Amino acid sequence: MLTKRIIPCLDIKDGRTVKGTNFVNLRDAGDPVSLAAIYAQQGADELVFLDITATVDGRKTLIKLVRNVAHTINIPFTVGGGISSVADVSALLNAGADKISINSSAVRNPDLINELALEFGSQCVVVAIDTRYINGEHIVHTHGGRQPTELRTLGWAKEIESRGGGEILLTSMDTDGTKAGFALALTAQVSGDANIPVIASGGAGTMDHFVDVFTTGQADAGLAASIFHFKEIEIPVLKGYLRGKGIEMRV
């Protein structure tokens, strides 16, 4: 059985880690490099850094931050926000990132997924899906969740895989920051259809929520932010709990 991964997510705005609810009402959660060091020491499997206003503000993800993180931690990390070209990805990987995450740019230009997979390998290419349930359908959103698209989540997930995406980072905007649990039915649908790993995001509030997303939701990884940032759940305790439930974890 493949081991499941625990991934803290650091949403970055103006160089600081922030966290909100349903993608709004942001509050400061600390220095991203310092938090990264703590999570690496605690046994996080990977980290994700998302510059959440990069696309909205028309900026590029902060290369300096990536370099600082790469010099500080020894676990894989993914960077996203404002990435729209092969050159952007090359710069981030050269600065020390292990993977990149694209969202708005992939929706705008799906061929970008193919280009990046061909240039850098699928293992480097994470495609994020921000989704909200509207009028009975799961709708893909872009620009930090601000803009609904014509895309349906399940169909888009299949297209991402067919174009060479290496992983899907699936965030339910309906559960994000609520601590009421992951969107299990949706996660199970996407995971069941996909032959690539699915990272579930949005709604973690208890250790049992991770049990649920790894079993019922069939996710390959569980991503969370505020419960780690504000020390509500410690990563070593969570991993021990999950192992006790029969879920394979990396030590």
249 within some domain = no
- Which residues of the chain are modeled with pLDDT < 70? 1, 19-27, 29, 53-61
Q: Which domain holds residue 56?
A: 5-244
148 within some domain = yes
251 within some domain = no
Whether pTM exceeds 0.75 = yes
Both tokens of residue 72?
């500080």
Both tokens of residue 199?
């990272």
93 within some domain = yes
158 within some domain = yes
Nearest to 226 by CA among 15, 5, 18: 18
Count of the separate structural domains present in the chain: 1
34 within some domain = yes
User: Could you give the CA distance from residue 190 to residue 202 in angstroms, rounded to a whole number?
Assistant: 15
Which pLDDT score, from 0 to 100, does residue 14 have? 78
Q: So which residues are the catalytic ones?
A: 11, 130
Q: Per-residue pLDDT tens for 168-182? A: 999 999 998 889 999
Which pLDDT score, from 0 to 100, does residue 30 have? 76
20 within some domain = yes
Q: Where are the alpha helices (DSSP H) in the chain?
A: 32-42, 54-57, 63-72, 86-95, 104-108, 111-120, 153-162, 184-193, 207-215, 226-229, 235-244
250 within some domain = no
Q: Is the dihedral of CA 238, 178, 9, 231 positive or negative?
A: negative
Question: What's the CATH number where 120 sits?
Answer: 3.20.20.70
3-class DSSP state for residue 244?
A: helix
Which pLDDT score, from 0 to 100, does residue 145 have? 82
